[in-house]
Chain A
Amino acid sequence: MPVKLQGAVALRKALAIVEPTLAKETSKEIASFLKPVVKQARGYMPNNDAVMSGWLVGNQRGKWERAAYDAGIARKGITYKSTPSRVNRQGFSALASIFNKSAAGAIYETAGRKSGQTGQFTPRLGGEIIGDKQKMQGRNIFRAFEEDRGKAQDGVVKAIFKAKDKFDSMKDKV
């Protein structure tokens, strides 16, 4: 579960308007904590020769064509975002996120986390599903996040608090 911070979105918005430099610095600092996780997650994405040949791009037709695997696309699909997101249905706005955007990447990430190593596809994917709960289990970003042991999360929170302190001190002075 993400850490809940109240007022952080407003702080980021205020920074972007009043102190753009500090806002950029904060984003960079948050990114510096997210990048290692992303890099690690990309590393867990298998090369094209390591996946089943029938799943590769060029060998899939029809509705599965868009879900065909390509290591480059799948790796590029793992990204991060260091700015606040839109409010979701539960009323939360994320301050920093790590994504696995590509269809093939998502399949590789999650295949078998509910049904287990069954069938002809999942057991041949390889990798290791790691994570706390089912919704937070996966082979790429969830595994990298789990192995990061909360360093990224702590860093993001610290970066936001640091920005808050800086902003407060500047506000008091001027």
Chain B
Amino acid sequence: MADLRIDLAAEFKGKKAFKEADKSVSGLDKAVGKLGKQIASVFAAQKILAFGKASVKAFAEDQASAARLTKTVDNLGLAFANPAITQFIQKLSMQSGIVDETLRPAFQGLLTTTGDVTKSMDLLTKAVDISRGSGVDLATVTQDLANGYVGITRGLKKYNLGLSQAQLKSKSFEEIMGLLNKQFNGASATYLETYAGKMAILNTAADNAKETIGKGLVDALMTVGGQDTNIQSVATAMQNAADATANFARGIGILVAKITNIPGLAQLVKLLELSIKFTSPASLISNLGKPKPTGYGDYSGSTVDYQRKQDEKAAAKAKAVADAKAAALAKSTLKSQKSLTDQQKKQAALKKDSGIFDMQQIQLIAALKGQLSDDDRKRAELQLALLNGNLDEADKLTKQILMAQDATGNLYKYFLQTPDAKNPFGYLDTWIKDFQTKLNALQFPDLSKPSTYIGAGMDPALAALGVVAGYGANIPQTGSASTVASNAVLNGLAGMQSTSGFVSTQSVTGSNVQVYVQGSVVTEQELIDAIQAGLQSNSLSGAPSQIGRIAGMFG
């Protein structure tokens, strides 16, 4: 049943579209991959087919030339020499780097001219040298030699033997061969020492291999197609074989890829590759080809070199150790930094989380969710912003609140101009610093040394008497001079507070006078009593007196 519904608003999530796009891309990718594989397989099959065709062609040409030579030898009545000729051609081909398809016609030409197998072999060997030495192709050389054998020496002029045409005609073939041998002897061997000569040998070997493969292929295809099949069926069989070979090669590739993708096998494959590298024939040949060291290690063998190598080894080892230490240190540092960063992150997160449980915030948020007037809401929001450190929001809300209170904006301006409130206890800092400075500046007297007496300000009258007032302990005593204790100051209240009084000494020449103040006034009541007694005494004596209101008594 259809889903009866009306969607009033919807959001496109794009799931289907993305899936479809993904599917399309995947499909295209697969298709391209398949096409690539097919193209690769077609190319691989074509290569194999081309190689197979070339091999078969080489085999056919080789077989044809061999058949021609064999027939010639047979016609000359030298059929018994066929195996020897085949062996000779094969051996010369390998030695000279000239393919047997070239050697056979050359040998055939010489053999038909000379009619002697041994002579032809000798001439062909020399022709190879002449060809390598003069740069003239072997077929031309053998033709020239064959012509020269029968007295036609015109073609021999090109080898620059230093003989005129007439001289060449006058010389016998043996003499001419002697000159040629003298001039070009060993040219082939020298050529084969060069890289070009070696490449020629390799090409020859490859050609022979191709012929062998071609023979094998033809045999196989004949076997597959039937002994009496025509060339078309053989070609079809070749195509099928090439396809099968290509599929086999591709299958090997896929198998290797699958094996490599198996988890854990990648290391095993690497190990196998490593072991194969170490044990491969190419590696062994390469090792054999390396020049053998004559001394210690890879060096020339002198002890100096050995010592140098040892030093280098030690330096490399030390460097490796240092590098390892540096790497470990760097790793440790990185780890600690990471740990620190993690801790900081955790703390930040914790702080953020703790904000949730901040009662002030909770109360403010709860208040904000409730019914509030605009003014109160703004104030609550301002508090929340201040708690969260949101300065921009706080400034904005402050302005709004102030503007709400005074639409003219003067209040906000006044707020902006208001200086920062002073610290009421700011003076304490100054005072403490000042006190500390003074305390540091104090100099304590050294009691172990006599201090210098500094005279105080004195009444000139007393000073005239020779009174020296002060508290110094080192007032000089002059003989038995009388000590005078007292002056106007010393007879004051301070004197009354002391049971023994202040003793001031004065140096008087000739006699010592000692004054002692008797009695004492220790408490306030004693002082009052003394004053009362004095006042009563004055009153009784008729002297005017004053009334002490505080004491409530009449004097």
Q: Is the Cβ of B16 less than 8 Å from the Cβ of A138?
A: no
How far apart are the CA atoms of A103 and B4 in the complex, in Å?
Answer: 10
Q: Are A6 and B4 in contact (CB under 8 A)?
A: no
Number of contacts between A and B (CB, 8 Å)?
99
* Residues of B close to A92: CB separation below 8 A: 7, 10-13
Q: Is B2 an interface residue, CB under 8 A from the partner?
A: yes
CB-based nearest B residue for A154? B8
The proximity string for B residues 45-70 relative to A, scoring 1 for CB distances below 8 Å and 0 otherwise, is: 00000000000000000000000000
Q: Are B393 and A153 in contact (CB under 8 A)?
A: no
A96 near B4 with CB under 8 A, answer: no
Residues of B close to A90: CB separation below 8 A: 16
Q: Beyond A173-B381, A173-B393, is A2–B16 a contact (Cβ under 8 Å)? A: no
Which residues on the B side are within 8 Å of A152 (C-beta)? 8
**Chain B at the A interface: SS class:** mixed
Once A99-B4, A103-B1, A173-B393 are accepted as A-B contacts, the answer to whether A6 and B9 lie under 8 Å apart by CB is: no
Query: B17 contacts the other chain (Cβ, under 8 Å)?
Result: yes
CA distance A3 to B393 in the complex (A): 36
User: In the assembled complex, which residues on chain A have CB atoms less than 8 Å from the CB atom of B4?
Assistant: 99-101, 105-106, 109-110, 138, 141
List of B residues within 8 angstroms of A174 by Cβ: 365, 384, 388
Tell me which residues across on chain A come within 8 A of B2, comparing CB atoms.
106, 110
Which residues of chain B have a CB within 8 Å of any CB of chain A? 1-2, 4-17, 365, 369, 381, 384-385, 388, 393
Name the residue among B10, B365, B381 with the largest chain A CB count within 10 angstroms: B10
Q: How far is the CB of B2 from chain A (nearest CB, A)?
A: 7
Inter-chain contact A8/B369, CB cutoff 8 Å: no
Q: For A6, what are the chain B residues with a Cβ–Cβ distance below 8 Å?
A: 11-12
Q: How far is the CB of B222 from chain A (nearest CB, A)?
A: 63
Are the C-beta atoms of B8 and A98 separated by less than 8 Å?
Answer: yes
**Minimum Cβ distance to chain A for residue B288 (Å):** 69
- Complex Cα distance A4/B2, Å? 22
Q: B384 near A99 (CB under 8 angstroms)?
A: no
Q: Which residues of chain A from 110 to 161 have any CB-CB distance to chain B below 8 Å in the complex?
A: 110, 136, 138, 141-142, 145, 152-153, 156-157, 160
Once bound together, how far apart are the Cα atoms of A156 and B17, in whole Å?
26
24 examples of A-B residue contacts, CB within 8 angstroms: A2-B6, A2-B8, A2-B9, A2-B10, A4-B11, A6-B11, A6-B12, A85-B7, A89-B16, A91-B15, A91-B16, A92-B10, A94-B9, A95-B8, A95-B9, A95-B10, A95-B11, A96-B9, A99-B5, A106-B2, A109-B4, A110-B2, A153-B9, A157-B9
Smallest beta-carbon distance A49→chain B, Å:
24
Question: Contact between A5 and B384 (Cβ–Cβ < 8 Å)?
Answer: no
Contact across chains for B12 and A4 when beta carbons are under 8 A apart = yes
List of 9 A-B pairs having minimum Cβ-Cβ separation, nearest first: A94-B7, A91-B16, A2-B7, A100-B4, A95-B9, A2-B10, A92-B10, A98-B6, A96-B8
User: B16–A97 contact, CB under 8 A?
Assistant: no
CB-contact partner of B8 in A21, A93, A97, A142, under 8 A: A97
| Given A98-B6, A106-B4, A141-B4: A91 in contact with B17 (beta carbons within 8 A) | yes
In the complex, what residues of B have CB within 8 A of residue A87's CB? 13, 15
Residues of A within 8 A of B9 (CB): 2-5, 8, 94-96, 153, 156-157, 160
Residues of A close to B12: CB separation below 8 A: 4, 6, 91-92
Q: Is A34's beta carbon under 8 Å from chain B?
A: yes
- Pair A91/B13 contact, Cβ less than 8 Å: yes
B7 pairs with A96, CB closer than 8 A? yes
Q: How far is the CA of A8 from the CA of B393 in the complex (A)?
A: 27
**CB of A8, distance to nearest CB on chain B (Å):** 5
Residue of B nearest to A135 (CB): B2
Residues of chain A with a CB closer than 8 A to B369's CB? 21
* Whole-angstrom distance between the Cβ of B410 and the nearest chain A Cβ: 27
Q: Beyond the given A97-B7, A106-B4, A153-B9, please list 17 additional residue pairs across the A-B interface where CB-CB is below 8 A.
A: A2-B7, A2-B9, A3-B10, A6-B11, A6-B12, A84-B11, A87-B13, A90-B16, A91-B15, A92-B13, A93-B11, A94-B9, A99-B5, A100-B5, A110-B4, A138-B4, A174-B388
Q: Any chain B CB within 8 A of the CB of A51?
A: no
A15 in contact (CB, < 8 A):
no
A7 touches B7 (CB 8 A): no
For residue B186, give the distance in angstroms from its CB to the closest CB of chain A.
87
CB proximity of B397 to chain A, nearest CB, Å: 9
Point out the residues of chain A lying under 8 angstroms from B15, CB to CB: 87, 91
Q: Are B5 and A9 within 8 A (Cβ)?
A: no
CB–CB B6/A97 < 8 A: yes
With A and B bound together, what is the CA distance between A84 and B10 in angstroms?
8
Complex contacts, A142 vs chain B, CB 8 Å: 6
Give the residue name and chain of the A residue nearest to B364 (CB): A174
The residues of A that contact B13 with a CB separation of less than 8 Å are 9, 87, 91-93
Closest approach, in angstroms, between the C-beta of B398 and any C-beta of chain A?
14
A160 to B369, CA, bound (A): 20
CB <8 Å contact, A34 and B11: no
B369 to chain A, nearest CB (A): 7
> Across the interface, which residues of B come within 8 angstroms of A91, CB to CB?
12-17
Residues of the B chain whose Cβ atoms lie less than 8 Å from the Cβ of A3: 8-10
A residues near B1, Cβ cutoff 8 Å: 103, 106
Chain B residues with Cβ below 8 Å from A156 are 8-9
Q: How far is the CA of A8 from the CA of B12 in the complex (A)?
A: 10
Cα distance A148–B23 when bound, in Å?
42
**CA gap between A4 and B14 in the complex, in Å:** 12
